[in-house]
Amino acid sequence: MNSKLTRRRFIKGVIFSGAAATTGTGVYLVASAQAGQAAAERLITLNINGRDRPVDVLPSETLAHTLRYKLDLTGTKIGCNRGECGACTVLINGVPNYACSVLTHNVKGKSVVSIEGVKSMDGTLHSIQQAFVDVNAPQCGFCTPGQIMSAVALLNNNPRPSREETRQALSGNLCRCGAYEHYINGVMRASGQIA
Amino acid sequence: MSTHIGVDFTPPDIAGKVTGEIKYAEDYKREGMVFARLLTSPLPAGRVVNIDASEALRMDGVVGVFTADDLPPVPPPGNPALASEYVTYVGQPILAVAAITEEIAESAIDKIRVDFERRDFVVDPIESLTPGGSNAYPEGNVLVRTREEGPEGAPIVGAEIKDIKWPQSAIDAIKTGKEPVGGEFTTEWAFGDVDAGFADAAAIIEEPFVTIGYPHHSLEARTGMAYWENGKCYFHGSSQSQSANNAGLARMLNIDLADLVFINEATGGGFGSKIGPYPFMAITGNFSKVLNRPVQLRITREQEFYIGSARSGMQGWIKIGVKENGKVSAVDLVIVNDGGATGGGSGNSSAQHVTVAYQPESMRYRGISVYTNTTPRGAQRGPGQNEMAAVLAPMTDKVARAIDMDRVAFRRTNVLDSDGFQGGSQGPVTSAFVREALDQGMRTFGWQDKIAQPKDMGNNKVRGVGVGIGYHGAGGRGYDGLLRIGTDGRLYIHSGVGNLGTYSYAGTCRAAAEALQVPWDKCDILHGRSDRHLPHSSGQGGSNTIFTHTRTNWVAAQDAITKLKEIAATDLGGSADDYEIGDERVFLSSNPSQGITYAQAAQRAIELGGKYSGQEYPDDINPLTQLAVQGIAGSGLVGVAKDNIPGQGQPPGVLVGFMEIEMDKDTGKYEILDYTAIADCGTVVHPTNFNNAMRGGAVWGVGLAGLERHVYDPQNGLPANTGLYQSKPPTNMDVPIDTQMGAVNIPDPQNPTGGRGIGEPTQGASAAALASAISDALDGHTFNTAPTTTDMIINHLAGNTYSTKSLKTNTF
């Protein structure tokens, strides 16, 4: 292919390239292994939701990426990927963190809890989750996993927080739908302060 | 006694939202899936001269590049999925690269060289109207409707871009807050005798105003994943709507309606930016077809700022005349909208808000929408109405004070009622009870007590008390309902309503359960992917869904009831009119023991075939509904109908808001102490979710009135606030966390369930009440801006007119 192309000739090249690429490539994981950057990945073991999970991780890979794309834990959402919205909040050693702003290699040896690890093994919802259902807290739901992780961390440390304390604890979780008051009501319900 | 309408329930998808198990478009993967990323324009205006992707294509793992040449051309000012000849804003997609990982796709983007030819650009619509000012397109700056005489006298209606410039005197006038006499407009209407109205007025005010657009910032940046199997395209897309996407998306993919499976279980926010298929979807679906592999195209937060749509800004002038008795006698309104690169303005909707708020005896509106080289503009929660509500509220207070009238009483005198009108055509409404809402709100909020309190709160803090009205048309007609009673006796309600977070897809299904008297735990909602046989539905925008689709589900249920009775009469004798329904049975009115269960009737419907089980269906239903009926034919008793319920007029959604703030005169900051809002939205269908919608809209109002705005550098055309932090959507620290919400709850006579929508005016009322309270705190000063930011307030308090001296949109 020429280094300088007209757009039309360029497209023909693209189509040819695409067709060639489809030949011989298989499932996503096989394809990943063929990537030039795969050599830079290192196999590490992470403790996610109480289980040890071996996973190949790039040096620059964020925890949000590892959870979503390597471990298929898609409940952790990426809203901004730059530490502004809190949709990717997980607990690291019990402390809420933005998973988009944490390198996966840095959580080796630490306990990570994502939204998938909040409900009981038997499927019973955590009191926060149940309260959020009861008060109809989520709207679109995209920020909800992050709101729940922050709320779980709050109640673990302060079982009967005030509304103002709850507001502060959830202030790092943006809700574009504006369901803030309902999330706070959910925390009040989970902590037994409202029916 | 209603058992479903006005009664709370748990929407079936909410559990998935709290466990993280519900799937959004980017949560889906597929064997062999590749990842696409976008290369976007660094320039505000120009054209693509050459693309050199040779180095990228040589990279391991890169599987293809997709450009504008792969898609049908889109003439300006359309919004192309990928730009080439017309690059009109920073961040506009130029091409997509697909690779086996996102990292490789990102790296490949860096290896592609795109040569651009620069063009002049403009980010301020007034600047573009100025003699010698730049245009957003080479052809001009304004879209003008054309009408030519066609064959046999049939008109050919079209549109073309024209270069419109105002005389310098008109530019100077609007910049200094005066009527821009001599300016050319593209939309004009009037009713009544405006000159006589002003002559009759006891008081007249004249004010300039500006509102600034801002991005939707849906938390889920729009993502698509598509793959093709056996000639069908399976498309996972992020959308507010479900069935409303199918026809347009099928056209984008050049396939038949039957060959598209659109999947949209949940959406991470839309707010008007994802009502129907958006251009970006064409890349994902067609790229997948070219590559013959599943393609996921996920965009970044910054790219969502660029292509995710935004509210239009506007700059205008208004003159309001009021009679001694408080009745608005005349309004003269001028609006220059910022249409962004490819969108349109909402000036006419802003004018419509004025008609609802004032019901003026006479009014003239003149508007023009000017393209700028900023992000495309589109519908955003109450487009036009809500930003107008924000700037109109302090002016309304000012005119009320001019005739020494209480601000709520003034609104009560003028606002829409059931005999009133909306818009320049003075069209009717289905019903309106805004005065009742104002009365209820005054009582709940304690208006009289609050305005009697001293303004000075000590420590250089002052109290402000405000009131505002939000309005949006809230309902449509003519869509289809589809349901099925299974042989298991369960009611299967097929909903083409999207799941945008309002739970209206479920709430509207309650109408069918109500009509058929089926317990909710025996109902199943089929939604979220078109191969679940979903009927034609409205787009989930414009606050229409509650009105529109309680009606469609109601008429489908009525069709099912008719068929139940006919089947019973066939098997048990008599005529259909001899039967009624109850307890999931259809039985003889004169002898309830003689009847059959819904399950038995469903079995008989299958045996009888024809219309009873969907082999035949009404002629007037949409082609998409026809496909859906064909998909479920023979599986039970099918109820299907188009909403032909008679009636006329627009169902209005109206809200009144009351707000109390504490303003710190040292910092210009304010705390919202109290917010009370009362809706006139007919019967509240789902009370808990009603509260959620009300509070969510209130948060949006705080953003509109005080925080959010586009900021573009006029020298280079670059946006200054692409991220969430700089754009400043409200956090929970910016809003009250203990509000009072209520509803008049008077049924709308044109909906069997009584409901009307309310999603959008929730924002307008909050924004208006806040703007009114800010003005009140500052002894009636009118900023005439939305947003009115803290720096504007502190500048005013310091006697510095910098912030408001030269009003303009998009810039400081």
pLDDT band of B153, cuts 50, 70, 90: confident
Residue B716 has pLDDT above 50, yes or no: yes
Task: List, for residues B568-588, the tens digit of each pLDDT value.
Answer: 999 999 999 999 999 999 999
Q: How far apart are CA B180 and CA B87, in angstroms?
A: 31
Domain that holds residue A98: 33-117
Using a CB-CB cut-off of 8 Å, the residues of chain A touching B268 are 77, 79, 140-142
Q: Which pLDDT does position B807 carry in this prediction?
A: 60
Q: How far apart are CA B768 and CA B560, in angstroms?
A: 45
On whether both A187 and A113 belong to a single domain, the answer is no
Domain containing residue B520: CATH number = 3.30.365.10
* Assigned domain for A18 exists: no
In SS3 terms, A12-40 reads as HHHHHHHHHHHCCCCCHHHHHHHCHHHHH
pLDDT band of A25, cuts 50, 70, 90: very low
On whether both B500 and B553 belong to a single domain, the answer is yes
Task: List, for residues B685-698, the tens digit of each pLDDT value.
Answer: 999 999 999 999 99
Where does B502-581 have alpha helices with state H?
Answer: 504-507, 510-516, 545-572
Task: List, for residues B1-56, the tens digit of each pLDDT value.
Answer: 679 999 999 999 999 999 999 999 999 999 999 999 999 999 999 999 999 999 99
Residue A1 has pLDDT above 80, yes or no: no
Contact of A37 with chain B, judged by CB distance below 8 Å, is answered with: yes
Q: Which pLDDT does position B802 carry in this prediction?
A: 66
* Assigned domain for A7 exists: no
Contact flag A1-B733 (C-beta cutoff 8 Å): no
Q: How far apart are CA B772 and CA B788, in angstroms?
A: 11
Contact flag A3-B14 (C-beta cutoff 8 Å): no
pLDDT band of B599, cuts 50, 70, 90: very high
Interface test with A, best of B19, B104, B305 (most A CBs within 10 A): B19
On whether both A40 and A112 belong to a single domain, the answer is yes
On whether both B582 and B626 belong to a single domain, the answer is yes
pLDDT band of B811, cuts 50, 70, 90: low
Q: Which residues lie below 8 Å from residue B716, measured CB to CB, with a gap of 6+?
A: B44
Which residues lie across from B579 on neighbouring strands?
B588
Residue A7 has pLDDT above 70, yes or no: no
Contact flag A77-B24 (C-beta cutoff 8 Å): yes
Q: Residue B399: which region, alpha, beta or left (left: phi > 0; alpha: psi -120 to 50)? A: alpha
On whether both B486 and B610 belong to a single domain, the answer is yes
In SS3 terms, B254-300 reads as CCCHHHEEEECCCCCCCCCCCCCCCCHHHHHHHHHHHHCCCEEEECC
On whether both A110 and A159 belong to a single domain, the answer is no
Contact flag A178-B268 (C-beta cutoff 8 Å): no
Q: How far apart are CA B543 and CA B546, in angstroms?
A: 8
* Assigned domain for B28 exists: no
Residue A8 has pLDDT above 60, yes or no: no
Residue B796 has pLDDT above 70, yes or no: yes
* Assigned domain for B392 exists: yes
Q: Which pLDDT does position B805 carry in this prediction?
A: 62
Residue A29 has pLDDT above 50, yes or no: no
Taking the CA atoms of residue B381, residue B384, residue B390 and residue B396 in that order, the dihedral angle to the nearest 10 degrees is -140
On whether both B752 and B796 belong to a single domain, the answer is yes
DSSP labels, B353-382? HHHHHH--SSEEEEEEEEE-SS------SS
Average pLDDT value over all residues in chain B: 96
Q: Comparing C-alpha atoms, which of B20, B723, B368, B611 is closest to residue A72?
A: B20
Contact flag A178-B739 (C-beta cutoff 8 Å): no
* Assigned domain for A54 exists: yes
Quick one: average pLDDT of B636-661?
97
Using a CB-CB cut-off of 8 Å, the residues of chain A touching B104 are 35-37
Domain that holds residue B794: 381-475+650-805
Q: Which of B642, B663, B695 is the last residue of a domain?
A: B642
Q: Comparing C-alpha atoms, which of A182, A98, A70, A28 is closest to residue B99?
A: A28
pLDDT band of A5, cuts 50, 70, 90: very low
Quick one: average pLDDT of A165-193?
98
Distance, in angstroms, between A41 CA and closest chain B CA? 13
* Assigned domain for A20 exists: no
* Interface subset of A 108-147, CB within 8 angstroms of B: 114-116, 118-119, 125, 129, 132-133, 135-145
Residue A14 has pLDDT above 70, yes or no: no
* Assigned domain for B248 exists: no
Q: Which of A117, A146, A180 is the last residue of a domain?
A: A117
Q: Which of A117, A148, A182 is the last residue of a domain?
A: A117
* Assigned domain for B551 exists: yes
Q: Which pLDDT does position B803 carry in this prediction?
A: 61
Interface test with B, best of A181, A182, A193, A194 (most B CBs within 10 A): A181
Residue A30 has pLDDT above 50, yes or no: no
Using a CB-CB cut-off of 8 Å, the residues of chain B touching A176 are 217-219, 269, 271, 729
User: What's the pTM value of the predicted model, to 2 decimals?
Assistant: 0.94
Quick one: average pLDDT of B640-658?
97
Where does chain A have alpha helices with state H?
Answer: 7-22, 28-34, 63-65, 127-134, 144-157, 163-169, 180-190
Contact flag B293-A141 (C-beta cutoff 8 Å): no
Q: Which of A117, A140, A155 is the last residue of a domain?
A: A117
Interface test with B, best of A6, A8, A11, A14 (most B CBs within 10 A): A14
Q: How far apart are CA A131 and CA B269, in angstroms?
A: 22
Tell whether omega for the bond before B77 is within 30 degrees of 0, i.e. cis.
Answer: yes
B463/A30: higher pLDDT: B463
On whether both A139 and A162 belong to a single domain, the answer is yes
Q: Which pLDDT does position A27 carry in this prediction?
A: 30
On whether both B668 and B629 belong to a single domain, the answer is no
Q: Which pLDDT does position B154 carry in this prediction?
A: 78
Using a CB-CB cut-off of 8 Å, the residues of chain A touching B293 are 18, 22
On whether both A53 and A113 belong to a single domain, the answer is yes
Query: How large a percentage of chain B has pLDDT more than 70?
Result: 99
Task: List, for residues B505-552, the tens digit of each pLDDT value.
Answer: 999 999 999 999 999 999 999 999 999 999 999 999 989 999 999 999
Contact flag A15-B737 (C-beta cutoff 8 Å): no
On whether both B507 and B628 belong to a single domain, the answer is yes
* Assigned domain for B77 exists: no
On whether both B685 and B781 belong to a single domain, the answer is yes
Domain count, chain B: 2
On whether both B415 and B556 belong to a single domain, the answer is no
On whether both B702 and B740 belong to a single domain, the answer is yes
Q: How far apart are CA B277 and CA B241, in angstroms?
A: 9
Residue A32 has pLDDT above 90, yes or no: no
Q: Which of B614, B642, B670 is the last residue of a domain?
A: B642
* Assigned domain for B194 exists: no
On whether both A63 and A103 belong to a single domain, the answer is yes
On whether both B637 and B669 belong to a single domain, the answer is no
Interface test with B, best of A48, A49, A90, A136 (most B CBs within 10 A): A136
On whether both B497 and B469 belong to a single domain, the answer is no
Phi and psi at residue B136, in whole multiples of 5°? -70, -30
Average pLDDT value over all residues in chain A: 85
* Assigned domain for B341 exists: no
Contact flag A140-B269 (C-beta cutoff 8 Å): yes
Using a CB-CB cut-off of 8 Å, the residues of chain A touching B730 are 178
Amino acid at B244: A
Quick one: average pLDDT of B441-456?
98
* Assigned domain for B705 exists: yes
On whether both B459 and B533 belong to a single domain, the answer is no
Q: Comparing C-alpha atoms, which of B690, B174, B670, B184 is closest to residue A136?
A: B690
pLDDT band of B317, cuts 50, 70, 90: very high
Contact of A178 with chain B, judged by CB distance below 8 Å, is answered with: yes
pLDDT band of A22, cuts 50, 70, 90: very low
Quick one: average pLDDT of B251-266?
97
